[in-house]
Structure 1
């Protein structure tokens, strides 16, 4: 079971790249929680908190394919560095808007959040695109699984750190730290790309030709992107549900603790799945994810009131074990389907699909929380994963193309 991990660790620079790729996305895991507390306290509305959070994520989603295409054509290291600085500074400015303006000025915050999102550093698409250039076989599958598992661990650390800062200091400081982490993570990842020789563009025989429509004509690519949309939307709806319940009971730190428990469960599931031989079964993994999310509905208010944090934590621990395996299988499948010279662009579109899922989930979960309560919001997440199951069953398997030579 450990053999794939040994093969992975034996490749120079890969472990360091995995670590910095995870640290480079740490800021994203705590930002929704910090921003939710900040905006809900500023405006008194979860719905408006969702709208402003969605504006940030729409900006991130719009920039995703553009950043991916630029990385494919011109290289990634400099791009990651410059955008990381711009995003981090912008996030720090956003943190203080509620102290400068009254809550009725929330549209200004929404516009600013969208603008900051445009500068999000493309750590995620770049990191996912380089694994097939450096690895193959079981080591490649393990890389995607470790990548997803480390991401889940970041979802344990990020929300817990954000919640601790909210409880100990204030939401503004939590968002400031998020911006600082964005700059630090982008700088470290950019440096490792250069050290590993992965900072340049992908050389192809037709690189100078315009890249018109074609990526979405590849069978399974569109379905893979939609699958990520629904999976991410469901995950964030659950996260928002936990945040709202913790805020309602007057214990904001519980949001971070329960989020960490959820991520730990995912990490354990990912580590087990990463050591398995053979191609991952995507549909089965998404079905298990559905069961984990559905188990939350009966343990939350108003279905179960007052809810027990111990019971919620237990459900999250076991239900979370299906998250990383499902995400890893979905990411690997897209990497197999996309042409090698457009893989970063494909993962840029994946980031866009994921952030679109965030953008839909934030106001949707806010509305369901305002008008139905946590269990109703969790039921909305169940609907999202159910649609994901239907899509997963339609995505074909594919063999990866030969990798082009790097310039």
Structure 2
């Protein structure tokens, strides 16, 4: 298993590209916490705080395909820096806004969310250019695994800063992290020579450019991701509700960390496996892993300690990162090389929609029948995603095999053999 990672990280510039692409996304998991505390401090209302935090989410979803298309057509380093400047300025205004003008935070958050630096779209579009074959599978598994860490570290960072210095400081620190990460990723791309997007393929005679949503395979991937993320997001809400019923809200974070730890271990193991990923098996394993929780949670059962459920949560999480890695890699194969940014932009929108669907639906199920009913609903979402996986796995790009573009040819060297990016002035 370690040999696969050694080969992967021996590729030139890969460690720098991966590190900075993840740093540019580190703030995403913590920003809702910081914004919630900021707005709740102004208004005393968590509903209004959720409205502002939701505005960022809506803006991110609306801008996903647009940012992706720009990433397919514009130099990536310039796009990252420009979007970071606008995104950072919007969040800075939000952090400095007087509490009496809280209502301005709603439209401001929507507009700011549209300009989220497209680090994830650019990175996921880049991996098929940097890697091929088994190395590509390891790359997507490593990214999915490390992204689980982001959703642990980001909220912890936000909570620590908010607890020490308040909501304004929390938003300010996460804004700085997002801008530094985006600029660092732009620098890494320029240093590696990957700032220019691949040229568009010549269209077939008489064929017009279609929306990616008209492609059955791409649409199936997006639908599967929406349902899968809805199921995964619902589990977090169930853990919060159960912890509140127990009278110990702190259990929620610990239980979710156990779930994420299972995903981390599963992703690391999957990244070291040889052979193509078996998407159908992974998707059904993710759904089936949730089922034992139904009979372990109230009102079906009342375990004496939530730690008795922790091993089940760990096992249930094992298939998450491998499934996310496989479906992300599948989308990269299905989308044309010159439109991958747009495809991953739509993936951002689908994931955001999944979270938006999960919250009210799971909450309604918990209110109606308890946390066991809520987990049954999340398992239903995951099972529906798994039922789509055979269609996703069987679909091939129209008229071709999956994309296998590997690393770019060797670039000309300057004096003393120093590499010179092809777009350097």
Same fold (TM over 0.5): yes
Q: Distance in 2 between matches of 1:251 and 1:179?
A: 31
Paired residues, what number?
401
Tell me the equivalent position of 2:343: 346
Shift of 1:297: 3.9
Tell me the equivalent position of 1:400: 402
Shift of 1:146: 0.4
Distance 1:86 1:20, change over 3 A: same
Q: Distance in 1 between matches of 2:52 and 2:372?
A: 23
Q: TM-score, normalised by structure 2?
A: 0.82
Distance 1:78 1:368, change over 3 A: farther
Tell me the equivalent position of 1:222: 219
Deviation per residue, 1:4-43 (Å, 9 max, x gap):
2222112101122112222211111223444566667856
CA contact (8 A) 2:133 2:404 kept: no
Question: Is residue 139 of structure 1 aligned with residue 135 of structure 2?
Answer: yes
Q: Which moved more, 1:355-364 or 1:68-77?
A: 355-364
Tell me the equivalent position of 1:317: 314
Task: For 1:1-400, list aligned pairs within 5 A.
Answer: 1-35=1-35, 52-94=52-94, 99-100=99-100, 109-166=105-162, 170-204=166-200, 206=202, 212-246=209-243, 253-301=250-298, 303=300, 308-368=305-365, 374-395=371-392, 396-398=394-396, 399-400=401-402
CA RMSD, 1 decimal: 3.3
Q: Distance in 2 between matches of 1:305 and 1:254?
A: 16
Q: Distance in 2 between matches of 1:37 and 1:71?
A: 33
Q: TM-score, normalised by structure 1?
A: 0.86
CA contact (8 A) 2:238 2:371 kept: yes
Deviation per residue, 1:326-366 (Å, 9 max, x gap):
00000011111111111111111111111222232344445
Q: Secondary structure at the match of 2:391?
A: coil
Distance 1:231 1:109, change over 3 A: farther
Q: Which moved more, 1:363-372 or 1:233-242?
A: 363-372
Distance 1:306 1:254, change over 3 A: same
Q: Secondary structure at the match of 2:122?
A: helix
Q: Which moved more, 1:248-257 or 1:78-87?
A: 248-257
CA contact (8 A) 2:76 2:186 kept: yes
Q: Distance in 1 between matches of 2:316 and 2:215?
A: 33
- In the alignment, structure 2 segments of 5+ residues that lack a partner are 410-421
Q: Distance in 1 between matches of 2:195 and 2:123?
A: 11
Shift of 1:193: 1.0
| Greater Rg over alpha carbons, structure | 2
